[in-house]
């Protein structure tokens, strides 16, 4: 056996254990009884201890010193293992286990506080999570920027400075577009009642329409929709609101985008470092292009309109054109996950600034709710009416996912680039989407992006797929063109 073979055998077992940990997380959000939260925290801590010990095993350094890559794929495997090992060895095992236990428990505390609309019930736990994440960041940064160290876990190579500069370039055009759209008459809201069982049936059919493989996945309900897993077990969740079926339908399409990325990775990469999405920015590019550029396109919403008439009968919308405007309704709203494409990135920019301040120590937890509410009023012109519509709406901070939020907008930027290239390669795309046929688009994405898994660096994945370096311009041009047409600008 060679050093490379020994290392890969060891890595496959580590990847398998990580999948088990992920399955525990999925169960916690979907089916775990509420009374099991404390025990689940101990279970997550225990498995994280095992994983951390494997990721810092001294033999990995020895194998890496002796391993020779026989080809480019093997070289990429070694690159990712070396990076993960270097990162893991900087974090004390006790800290890794404590973080796993505290964040697991914190999710339940956040959910209870959100349901009770009591920010004070969550703040002590949030303060503990932030203290642990700052400790982790200090170990990783080794004198560098704490927030950059955390963000590198989700988007290798990105920095807060580069992301902040991109946000500064994007904000003026987004604000101008928002102002222009909001001067126009808003389309009506859906007012009919849509039964949750019927919503879930259509959600399942939408998942199938976008290529989700139910032989290797499942669709369940959760408070906060998410996708979990990789390889041959990739599960998604959604949620239902009786008067807002788009919440269910577009959450489902969004999570299918994530899931299809994992399901589309070359099966030869199964249970290896290449067998996962390369970054959260690239991951989000898949979910957002499925949801927005494809799923909210006037062509596809025309097909959805006919489907909803068949399934729900007359629901108060008279034409496909009106339905498209309703599906793309622009309005200031409290909830990030329900935000339209014009407002969505403004939600992300706000969170980016707040969590940078928290990690830097410029903002304390005690002042976070006021800072959130003040910033929201300034950015959106609406006062937060209750905690579940404000600070308590996102699960991320309870999970310790600091540095994650900016990847949502980076994903939108990547999706804008991919959409421009996809349209150039598939000129008859709208004709296909109007029939509910996404196969050409999703096949293009699988070939250009998904199958590669972690083979290339994140920005390289996008540049190789598109034939140009990613920038925010295609996204902003797409938004101007789409909403200009929908709102007669």
Q: Work out the end-to-end distance of the chain between its first and last CA atoms, rounded to an integer number of angstroms.
A: 66
Which residues, 6+ apart, have CB-to-CB distance to 39 below 8 Å? none
Are 479 and 181 in contact by the 8 Å Cβ rule? The answer is no
Give the closest residue to 25 by CA, choosing from 13, 43, 11: 43
Q: Which two tokens stand for residue 242?
A: 């009786």
156-179: b or e for each residue (b if 16 or more CB lie within 10 Å)? bebebeebeebbeebeebbeebbe
φ and ψ of 220, to 5 deg: -130, 175
DSSP-assigned states of every residue in 434-477:
TTT--HHHHHHHHHHTGGGTTSS-HHHHHHHHHSS---SHHHHH
Q: Which residues contact 349 (CB under 8 A, 6 or more apart)?
A: 167, 171, 379, 409
Query: Of 29, 48, 136, 255, which residue is the catalytic one?
Result: 255
- CB 451 within 8 Å of CB 383: no
How far is the C-alpha of 237 from the C-alpha of 252, rounded, in Å? 7
For 458, the token pair is 């994140």
Residue 348: name the closest of 337, 363, 359, 358 by CA. Answer: 337
Give the contacts of 466 (CB within 8 A, at least 6 positions apart). Answer: 417, 418, 420, 421
Cα separation, 112 vs 261, in Å, equals: 32
255 is catalytic: yes
**Are residues 456 and 267 in contact, defined by beta-carbon separation less than 8 angstroms?**
no
Compute the Cα dihedral for 53, 14, 265, 246 and give only its sign: negative
Catalytic residues: 255
């Amino acid at each position: 056996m060679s050093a490379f073979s020994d290392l890969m055998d060891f890595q496959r077992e580590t990847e398998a254990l990580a999948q088990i940990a992920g399955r525990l997380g999925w169960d916690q959000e979907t089916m775990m009884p509420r009374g099991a939260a404390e025990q689940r925290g101990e279970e997550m801590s225990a498995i994280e201890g095992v994983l951390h010990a494997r990721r810092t095993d001294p033999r990995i350094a020895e194998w890496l010193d002796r391993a020779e890559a026989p080809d480019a794929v093997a070289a990429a495997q070694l690159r990712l293992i070396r990076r993960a090992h270097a990162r893991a060895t900087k974090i004390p095992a006790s800290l890794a286990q404590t973080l796993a236990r505290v964040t697991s428990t914190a999710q339940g505390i956040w959910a209870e506080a959100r349901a009770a609309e009591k920010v004070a019930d969550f703040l002590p736990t949030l303060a503990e999570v932030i203290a642990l994440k700052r400790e982790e960041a200090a170990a990783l940064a080794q004198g560098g920027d704490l927030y950059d160290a955390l963000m590198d876990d989700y988007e290798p190579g990105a920095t807060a400075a580069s992301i902040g500069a991109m946000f500064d370039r994007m904000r003026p055009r987004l604000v101008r577009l928002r102002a222009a759209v909001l001067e126009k008459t808003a389309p009506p809201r859906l007012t009919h009642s849509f039964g949750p069982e019927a919503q879930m049936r259509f959600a399942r059919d939408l998942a199938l329409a976008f290529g989700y493989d139910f032989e290797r996945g499942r669709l369940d309900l959760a408070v906060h929709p998410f996708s979990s897993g990789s390889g041959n077990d990739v599960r998604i969740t959604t949620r239902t609101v009786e008067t807002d079926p788009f919440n269910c339908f577009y959450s489902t399409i969004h999570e299918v985008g994530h899931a299809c990325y994992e399901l589309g990775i070359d099966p030869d990469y199964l249970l290896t470092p290449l067998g996962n999405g390369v970054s959260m920015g690239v991951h989000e590019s898949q979910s957002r292009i499925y949801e927005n550029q494809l799923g909210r396109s006037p062509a596809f919403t025309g097909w959805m309109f006919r489907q909803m008439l068949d399934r729900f009968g007359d629901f108060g919308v008279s034409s496909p054109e009106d339905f498209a405007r309703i599906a793309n309704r622009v309005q200031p709203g409290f909830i990030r996950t329900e935000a339209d494409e014009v407002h969505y990135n403004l939600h992300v920019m706000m969170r980016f600034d707040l969590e940078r301040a928290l990690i830097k120590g410029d903002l304390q937890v005690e002042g976070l709710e006021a800072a959130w509410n003040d910033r929201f009023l300034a950015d959106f012109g609406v006062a937060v009416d209750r905690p579940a519509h404000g600070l308590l709406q996102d699960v991320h901070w309870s999970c310790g996912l600091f540095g994650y939020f900016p990847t949502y907008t980076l994903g939108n930027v990547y999706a804008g680039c991919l959409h421009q290239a996809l349209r150039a390669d598939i000129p008859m795309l709208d004709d296909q989407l109007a029939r509910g046929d996404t196969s050409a688009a999703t096949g293009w994405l699988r070939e250009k992006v998904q199958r590669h898994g972690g083979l290339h660096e994140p920005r390289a994945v996008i540049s190789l797929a598109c034939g140009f370096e990613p920038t925010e311009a295609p996204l902003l041009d797409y938004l101007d063109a789409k909403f200009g047409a929908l709102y007669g600008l």
